Amino acid sequence: MRLFSSVLLPAILPLCFADGILYEKRDFIFSDPSSACSQLGASIAIENVTVNFANFVPAGTNLSFTQDFGLADCGYPSALVTSDMCRVAMYVATSYRNSITLEAWLPINWTGRFLSTGNGGESGCIQYTDLAYTAGLGFATVGANNGHNGTTGVAFANNSDVVEDFAIRSLHTGVVVGKELTKQFYGTAHKKSYYLGCSTGGRQGFKSVQSYPLDFDGVLAGAPALNYPNLNSWSNHFYPIFGDPGHATYIPIPLWAAVHREILSQCDGIDGVVDGIIEDPELCRFRPEALQCAPGVTNSSTCLTSAQVGAVRDAFTDLYGVDGKLIYPRMQPGSEVIASLVYYANGAFSFSSDWFKYAVYNNSNWDPATFTIADAKEAEDQNPFDIATWNGNISAFQNNGGKILHYHGQMDAIITSENSPVYYNLVSRTMGLNSSASDSFYRFFRISGMGHCQGGDGAHFIGNQLASVSTMDPQNNVLLRIVDWVENGNAPETVTGTKFVNDDPTQGVEFTRNHCKYPKRNVCTNPANYTSPDAWTCV
């Protein structure tokens, strides 16, 4: 899940940029934008919608958001607005016992585009960073709280309506309402509709593609939480493997650094250069036995006991169910330092244990330490509202002319990057498409050295979110690339990422790298110059 303490739009975000990818400013004449916004709020008459407020917000305003009602853990206390806009906050009833909180940010300098943001984890948090990012680029943007507040799954208990909103209804409702608001405010309908989301937001994007193929013309989906019930089973299964401190298989966080070093020793050079980044972790067949302690060695900070070696091997092994079918692929090697903080050495993972407690069993006393593959089968069989999002037939979206830009960081410590190719190949098999045919509407990029939606050791600044913007060039900005593909037919062959020194743009560029379109992978052909994108070839 992505949490930020504040929303600060970089100064590099102009409204219009080169090559005509963004429309020029539309000729909307708001002689008094503030009054126009107030009039919109007073005139909205959409079924099940109650307007909380409609405020004109001038550029430069630092918005503060309530931290009450369970929202403090969302991590969005404020947002710096960079474009004059009309901010509309609404209550939208989705059933007789549930509702969503929805916001629309309608920039005065509109480009004719509509965009919906997604969510993260199990959260009921509006992604204000994404609203600020996209509204600042002239998109009429909406975001919702997914039918509940806060970052836990407690609201799922005994309320299938909350689960349904979380699965898809919140997002689709926001799209329907948001498009109507856009038309009412600007006096004309949007030209193109887009989606941006990562993690749970990535799953929501694919769920829209599968269930509401007319909602979007372009979908930017990152690190998607696909096969969602099975993802929660996979996330849960690490706790019984490693246990708590004192358990024979427990590995303390500092020792995971030694595991990481050994993984790099075995696998970093597979791509042609030793640079601290594994380009294609699927090729890494890590052998943890290399870390086996010598006889008589105990309490080592550099080696593992036999029990610990077995646990590490289990973590890097695909998880299979009671019927022998794949539940979820293994954790990809390379992410273990961060994964030790999330899964391996930090007890039960709250998002996945909450799913079992409140959505699967409706039992807050369920103990994640008792998890077995029988629990996985129960979760998979339930699959409420098809939240698995595992339908390989997305032909309706294709036939409508839609485009998907799918990316996944290869250092993702929360959702294994090895699940995304499984879904891509499911689509290929289901629809009978080879790679060239898939390329016409669906392209998938593996971002080496990128963590969960952001961060990592690699060239992870790709413009997928506010914190990862380095430029407005579509080659280096996946949001603008999906726009360029939809509107100008310029499909991406590679995605160029940037790595800044200490991940700080003010300190300069450390290196850039072109990330390959799946199923191709990156190989270094000029190791002496590996920081140059020209030193790499997609094969």
Query: Does the residue 326 lie in any domain?
Result: yes
CATH at residue 468? 3.40.50.1820
Judgement on whether residues 64 and 189 belong to the same structural domain of the protein: yes
Judgement on whether residues 196 and 344 belong to the same structural domain of the protein: no
Judgement on whether residues 368 and 401 belong to the same structural domain of the protein: no
Q: Are strands 113-117 and 522-524 parallel, antiparallel or unpaired?
A: unpaired
Which residue, among 355, 334, 331, 354, has the nearest Cα to 343 in the 3D structure?
A: 331
Query: Using CA atoms in the order 422, 423, 424, 426, what is the torsion angle rounded to 10 degrees?
Result: 90
Query: Does the residue 3 lie in any domain?
Result: no
Is 452 assigned a catalytic role?
yes
Q: What's this model's pTM, rounded to 2 decimal places?
A: 0.94
Selected catalytic residue, list 148, 406, 452, 460: 452
Judgement on whether residues 49 and 145 belong to the same structural domain of the protein: yes
197 and 222 Cβ atoms separated by less than 8 Å: yes
Selected catalytic residue, list 193, 199, 438, 468: 199
Structural domain range at position 153: 18-227+386-489
State the CB neighbour count (10 A cutoff) for residue 88: 25
Strand partners, 80: 62
Euclidean distance between CA atoms 386 and 379, whole angstroms: 11
Taking only the tens place, the pLDDT of each residue in 435-471 is 999 999 999 999 999 999 999 999 999 999 988 999 9
Taking only the tens place, the pLDDT of each residue in 288-344 is 999 999 998 877 889 999 999 999 999 999 999 999 999 999 999 999 999 999 999
Q: What is the DSSP string of 118-159?
A: ---TT-B---HHHHHHHHTTTEEEEEE-TTS-BSSSGGGTT-
**Whether the predicted pLDDT of 271 surpasses 90:** yes
Neighbouring residues of 363: CB distance < 8 A, sequence distance ≥ 6: 357
Selected catalytic residue, list 271, 412, 457, 484: 412
Among residues 354, 385, 416, the one where a domain terminates is 385
Predicted confidence band at 106 (pLDDT cuts at 50, 70, 90)? very high
Euclidean distance between CA atoms 155 and 147, whole angstroms: 9
Euclidean distance between CA atoms 127 and 2, whole angstroms: 9
By percentage, how much of the chain surpasses pLDDT 70?
93
Predicted confidence band at 26 (pLDDT cuts at 50, 70, 90)? low
Q: What is the pLDDT of residue 300?
A: 82
Helices (H) and strands (E) in the chain, counts: 15, 17
**Whether the predicted pLDDT of 130 surpasses 70:** yes
Neighbouring residues of 209: CB distance < 8 A, sequence distance ≥ 6: 216, 219, 394, 397, 402, 404
Judgement on whether residues 190 and 68 belong to the same structural domain of the protein: yes
Predicted confidence band at 432 (pLDDT cuts at 50, 70, 90)? very high
Euclidean distance between CA atoms 79 and 83, whole angstroms: 12
Euclidean distance between CA atoms 239 and 366, whole angstroms: 14
Judgement on whether residues 44 and 180 belong to the same structural domain of the protein: yes
Is 237 assigned a catalytic role?
no
Which residue, among 531, 499, 530, 533, has the nearest Cα to 516 in the 3D structure?
A: 533
Among residues 368, 385, 402, the one where a domain terminates is 385
Read off the pLDDT of each residue in 3-18 and give the average, rounded to a whole number: 37
**Whether the predicted pLDDT of 16 surpasses 60:** no
For the record, the structure tokens of 220 come out as: 């930017």
Count up the domains in the chain and report the number.
2
For the ranges 2-11, 127-136, 241-250, 509-518, which has the lowest average pLDDT? 2-11
Is 199 assigned a catalytic role?
yes
Cis peptide before 519 (omega within 30 of 0): yes
Q: Which residues of 48-77 are buried (b: 16+ CB within 10 A; e: fewer)?
A: ebebeebebbeeebebeeeeeebbeebbbb
Q: What is the DSSP string of 309-328?
A: HHHHHHHTS-EE-TTS-EEE
Taking only the tens place, the pLDDT of each residue in 505-515 is 999 999 999 99
Judgement on whether residues 432 and 362 belong to the same structural domain of the protein: no
Judgement on whether residues 205 and 255 belong to the same structural domain of the protein: no
The residue among 362 and 124 whose pLDDT is bigger is 362
Euclidean distance between CA atoms 534 and 514, whole angstroms: 8
Judgement on whether residues 436 and 365 belong to the same structural domain of the protein: no
